[in-house]
Structure 1
Amino acid sequence: MKNDGDEKTSIIDVHPDIIQTLILTKLDGPTLISASVSSSKLYNLCCDDQLWRKICNSYWPSTSDPLIENIISTFPSGHRSFFSDSFPSIIRKPLVGKKPRQHIPATELTSAVDIHYDGNVLFSRALITEAKTGWFMSSPFRIELLGHEETFTTPEKFSDGGECRRNLMEKMKLSWILIDQTKNRAVNVSSLKAVSVKRHWLTGELKVKYSTVINSGAGAGAGAGELLQCGIVVTCEGKEGGDLHVREVSMQIEDMDGKVLCGKDSLVILRDVIEGGRKKRNENEIKENYENFLELKKKWKERKQIKEKRLDMACIASGITIFIAFWTLILVGSKSTGSYFS
């Protein structure tokens, strides 16, 4: 018989109620996923939807909106499936072997957006974008988060100096989750941390940008394999020393030329991204991808300018050749005519 001091108690010997109320509720999402694979008992306890609902609500307050709650309830494993889709980063590599989509069925695009400042919730909203009309399909794709003349205030004070920009870069975090209700899938298209903060030369507004670089699919208007940028811009305004107000939050997808994709092409891209793979989020890698995108975009523009310059030179040379040939024919013809009548 073993002495009490020799007996060992494992986690599976602890009462389930104690595990669920005193241990699992203290874990964050990634740790809870790791714990779920350690044993079948823990797996069953870790799959509790109420547990994952609290985690999702803590990460993204917009998920507590009844609209988002109803959508998440249709996911295969509820809030756990939603977290697994939305927490990781996008794998940039496009899906292999997919056939291009020739038709985009009528649908709605649901957004769950959360903005935090210095760890505190600043703004949250659930939004549905109608994607049924011909106007949406043919117009440049753009989702506006705020209504007309709607603004909200940040804890930051407006300043034209570098400190205000640095604070926005470090402290303002943005999450933009897109949900496809037809597939019961979701994806976070934001870099979470800003990749740049710039002052508009004319208006003086500060543009805080969040960006995720993705690959275009074969079914989109952009060339297959071409890099695209899903960019979210937060426009801030204010007076020197006064409150910093956010007056606009918008999301677009643009190609290497800086052209904004239309609604139809953007839906194709977003659906491929939503159905694509995920990987562990790495802020440094996301920032590096953005900087590489800017560098490739610059080289792309330079190559395009060289091609256009060569084309212009070829057109000029062709024009000069035609001009010389034309006058040569006239001169030769006039000489021939003169000799005939003389």
Structure 2
Amino acid sequence: MMSSSKAATSTAAAADQSGERNSLTTIHPDIVQSHILNRLNGATLASTSCASVHFQSLCNDDRLWQRICNSTWPSTAHPHVRSAVSSFPSAHRSFYSDSFPSLHNTGDLHRQGKRCPIETSELISAVDIYFDNKPIYSKILKTETLSSWFMSSPFRLELLHPKETISTPIESGAGGTCNERAAEHLRVSWILIDPARKRAVNVASQRAVEARMHWLNEDLQLRYATVAVDIRGNPVQCAVVVKCGGEELQVKEISMQVEDMEGKILGGMDSLVILRGAMDGERRRADVAIEREIYEMFRRNKEDFRERKQRRERGLDMAFIATGISIFFAI
């Protein structure tokens, strides 16, 4: 008797759940999209698309993903970015999947970038600056990548004009307090888009992984860096550097470059291969603590590399001096 009662209760619950699902599918799709789905963020919308075939078709509407991309990164509303993203396999959803997670450093990145048969004719940078997660500045930058000048020159993208500055909500006050607020509350997103290969990657870390004062002019330098690998599998950093100064801590410079273990800015050809590999590589959920840990590991390896190099150079100098003395006495 008890088992029959439990079975009846289970059947009724299943029927209720089934009825609830059926009732959701009877709502007009325009109502679901305009009053429910358009209120979701990207991660929730992606999860909702897995609920059923019906919701998958509704959640794949590019207008929903375009709204999410434009609200997350205002720079993506620019016509050049919209045109490039429209050719992605799933348009704005593909772009969001490429750009929202954090770059994951793996040993396969350099091989992926090196074997890519499609030439990259230009890169589009979609850059946004936030204060307390509110956008305060957006800009796009187009960079051609086929000229011999680009291939042989150091890869360094400058976002601002020489006399252009960006105001921040940080009021003037004690220098240390202003710098701490800037490091804590300023955030940068730098998305590189390859229209030819229909891929993108966000090369900036979620938060500043390093903050330091310039010894000469006392400007604050914030570094938003992620770690990738070069064509030999050695770690490199994709660094977005923001320089701030003035009484109200205005942003004076924003640049993006790829640096090796010696701190040298790599050339266009090597940087392009690394960035291709990063675009084709894995992504992971953004985590500020993990990004800082990875950067600290890179920085320690960089210091160890510098010390080993200095020891080798000192050893070579001593060997040359000893050889010279031996030759002198032999003569």
Instruction: After TM superposition, list the pairs within 5 Å mapping 1:60-75 onto structure 2.
Output: 60-75=73-88
Tell me which of 307, 319, 322 is aligned to 2:324: 319
Tell me which of 80, 86, 89 is aligned to 2:93: 80
Q: Which has the higher contact order (CA 8 A, sep 6+)?
A: 2
Name the count of aligned residue pairs. Answer: 317
Name the Cα RMSD after superposition.
Answer: 2.4
Matched, 1:10 2:20: yes
What is the CA-CA distance between 1:204 and the residue it aligns to?
1.7
Gaps (5+ residues) in structure 1? 218-223, 327-342
8 Å contact from structure 1 (residues 190, 212) kept in 2: yes
* Separation (CA, whole Å) in 1 of partners of 2:164 and 2:218: 19
What is the CA-CA distance between 1:63 and the residue it aligns to?
0.6
What is the CA-CA distance between 1:22 and the residue it aligns to?
2.2
Q: Compare CA radii of gyration and give the structure with the larger one.
A: 1
8 Å contact from structure 2 (residues 120, 194) kept in 1: no
Residues 232 and 304 of structure 1, relative CA distance in 2, 3 Å threshold:
same
* Separation (CA, whole Å) in 1 of partners of 2:118 and 2:148: 11
Matched, 1:124 2:129: no
Cα deviations by residue, 1:298-320 (Å, 9 ceiling, x for unpaired) = 11111111111111111122122
What is the CA-CA distance between 1:158 and the residue it aligns to?
4.0
Residues 7 and 212 of structure 1, relative CA distance in 2, 3 Å threshold:
closer
Q: What's 2:294 paired with?
A: 289
Question: What SS class does the counterpart of residue 167 from structure 2 fall into?
Answer: strand
Matched, 1:38 2:51: yes
Q: What's 1:255 paired with?
A: 260
After TM superposition, the score normalised by the length of structure 2 is 0.89
Tell me which of 215, 227, 234 is aligned to 1:201: 215
8 Å contact from structure 2 (residues 113, 277) kept in 1: no
> What letter matches 2:125 in structure 1?
S
What is the CA-CA distance between 1:146 and the residue it aligns to?
0.9
What is the CA-CA distance between 1:175 and the residue it aligns to?
0.3
Matched, 1:301 2:306: yes
Q: What's 1:337 paired with?
A: none
Residues 313 and 26 of structure 1, relative CA distance in 2, 3 Å threshold:
same
Matched, 1:228 2:236: yes
* Separation (CA, whole Å) in 2 of partners of 1:103 and 1:158: 52
Residues 235 and 3 of structure 1, relative CA distance in 2, 3 Å threshold:
closer
* Separation (CA, whole Å) in 1 of partners of 2:12 and 2:326: 105
* Separation (CA, whole Å) in 2 of partners of 1:285 and 1:23: 33
Tell me which of 190, 194, 198 is aligned to 1:180: 194
Residues 226 and 158 of structure 1, relative CA distance in 2, 3 Å threshold:
farther
8 Å contact from structure 2 (residues 112, 281) kept in 1: no
Greater helix fraction, Structure 1 or Structure 2: 2
